[in-house]
Amino acid sequence: MDWSCIRIRTSAWAAVVALALSACGGGGGEGGGGAEGGSTAPGVDPIQTSVPPPTYSGSLPQAYNFLSSSLANCGFGALRQDSNLDVAATNHAAYVARYLREGYYPHLETPGNQGFTGVNYWDRQAAAGYGGLPVGEVEAGIYLSFDAAAYPHMRTNDIEALAPLTSARSLLNAPYHGMAMLLGAQDVGIGSRFNWKESTQTGTTVVEGTGAVVISLGKRSPLGQQPSDPDAVRTYPCEGSTDVGYELRGEWVPGGNLAPGRDVGANPFGTTIYAVGRPESTISIQSISVIELSTGQPVPVYEIRNRSNDPNPQAHPGPHMAYVLLDRRLNPGERYQVNMSGMINGKPYTRQFTYTTSTQGDFVTEFSKYANNP
């Protein structure tokens, strides 16, 4: 598994935290949403502009509100909380938390193991009673340990509260996860679980935690919610997007590598910028510039990836999606201007928009702040 890991050092023992992101979702006929309403083709639903208020508690509402509002603002449609998907996500989060350090393979459960509810995510959705169609599942696996005496201010409930929102933001910013989250889902379930244990090591009480945040996605028609214009281009982020992820430390890619030869944990990417068409479309990004508005300085681009040149085609949903990796971590709470051009179904398009990065980093960054600021 591709772990992003740092050690947080104080005058005493080191706290260790690691974050692993993995995604499993469909491609082909599954797609994103758009700003218009009205069904225009068989199997297409109108965009959800409003959904019932969620019933999440604890720190889960933050993750849900971030995800649903981020997608709705950019024309992908709001997400409706589904209690059956919540069950599927929570059950799988508990399974991941239990087996994360024991050779667990992302998204697959082993029959006979404690907490088993289905081998694949669609099995788990069906077992939980979800009556729609599966879209995908994204998850963040978390491992951490710390010396209880060196970090007396650290509380497990505080750490657990950091996980849902930081994980949702990181997942949307990781390209193969983010594309799965832009596949036209209408329904969502979110679950978060941690396991904790204490052990004595050379006279030191070490607290270890394994946890997971799981987002389970479904739809109620074959293509989900889609724009009426067959040449529609949506982006994430888009004009007015806020709370956007500014650092990408790594991503688990089945059978591949996000950036061969690069230590992304030590040298993170910035915001991942997506361009998405309808599922039957072919889209490309041909040029892009990103400017940091407070300094006027351009942000270097690592790579523009369309389906045709993605080094991990097995993880790419289809030719209706493209994305850009920025070559450095961006600054928190900063505004960035994007100028993009490309082709959609053989026709040129351009997009210009400004977005604002989050003041909060990923789980690793926020855990580091918490550990070093009693």
Q: Do 335 and 280 have their domain in common?
A: yes
CA distance 54 to 300: 39
Average pLDDT of span 169-192: 96
Q: Do 293 and 348 have their domain in common?
A: yes
User: Is it the case that residue 12 has pLDDT exceeding 60?
Assistant: no
Q: Do 115 and 208 have their domain in common?
A: yes
Q: Do 163 and 276 have their domain in common?
A: no
Q: Between residues 278 and 20, which one has the greater pLDDT?
A: 278
Structure confidence at residue 38 (pLDDT): 31
Q: What is the pLDDT of residues 164-178, one digit of tens each?
A: 999 999 999 999 999
Q: Between residues 96 and 22, which one has the greater pLDDT?
A: 96
Mean pLDDT over each residue of the chain, to the nearest integer: 88
Helix (H, G, I), strand (E, B) or coil at 364: helix
User: Is it the case that residue 11 has pLDDT exceeding 80?
Assistant: no
Q: Do 32 and 60 have their domain in common?
A: yes
Q: What is the pLDDT of residues 356-374, one digit of tens each?
A: 999 999 988 998 898 888 6
Q: Do 136 and 180 have their domain in common?
A: yes
Helix (H, G, I), strand (E, B) or coil at 225: strand
Phi first, then psi: give them for residue 160, nearest 5 degrees: -60, -35
Q: Sorting pLDDT into bands at 50, 70 and 90, what band is 20?
A: low
Q: Do 155 and 274 have their domain in common?
A: no
Average pLDDT of span 298-312: 97
Structure confidence at residue 371 (pLDDT): 87
The domain containing residue 250 runs over which residues? 234-356
Phi first, then psi: give them for residue 364, nearest 5 degrees: -60, -45
Q: Could you count the other beta carbons within 10 Å of the beta carbon of residue 346?
A: 7
Strand order across the beta sheet in which 321-326 lies: 234-236, 272-276, 321-326, 301-305
E strand or H helix at 24, and its extent?
strand 15-25
Q: Which of 6-15, 67-76, 307-316 has the lowest mean pLDDT?
A: 6-15
Residue linked to tokens 């028609």: 221
Q: In this structure, what CATH number is given to the domain that contains residue 23?
A: 3.40.33.10
Q: For residue 5, what are the β-bridge partners?
A: 18
CA distance 314 to 291: 32
Q: What is the pLDDT of residues 39-59, one digit of tens each?
A: 344 456 889 999 999 999 999
Q: Do 167 and 47 have their domain in common?
A: yes
Position 216: which residue type?
A: S
Q: In this structure, what CATH number is given to the domain that contains residue 325?
A: 2.60.40.3780
Q: Do 117 and 264 have their domain in common?
A: no
Q: Do 10 and 154 have their domain in common?
A: yes
Q: What is the pLDDT of residues 118-164, one digit of tens each?
A: 999 999 999 999 999 999 999 999 999 888 888 899 999 999 999 99
- Number of domains making up the chain: 2
Q: Do 247 and 344 have their domain in common?
A: yes
The model's pTM: 0.90
Q: Strands, DSSP E only, in 223-320?
A: 234-236, 272-276, 283-292, 297-298, 301-305
CA distance 315 to 309: 12
Q: Sorting pLDDT into bands at 50, 70 and 90, what band is 21?
A: low
Q: Sorting pLDDT into bands at 50, 70 and 90, what band is 250?
A: confident
User: Angle CA(32)–CA(276)–CA(185) in degrees, nearest 5?
Assistant: 15
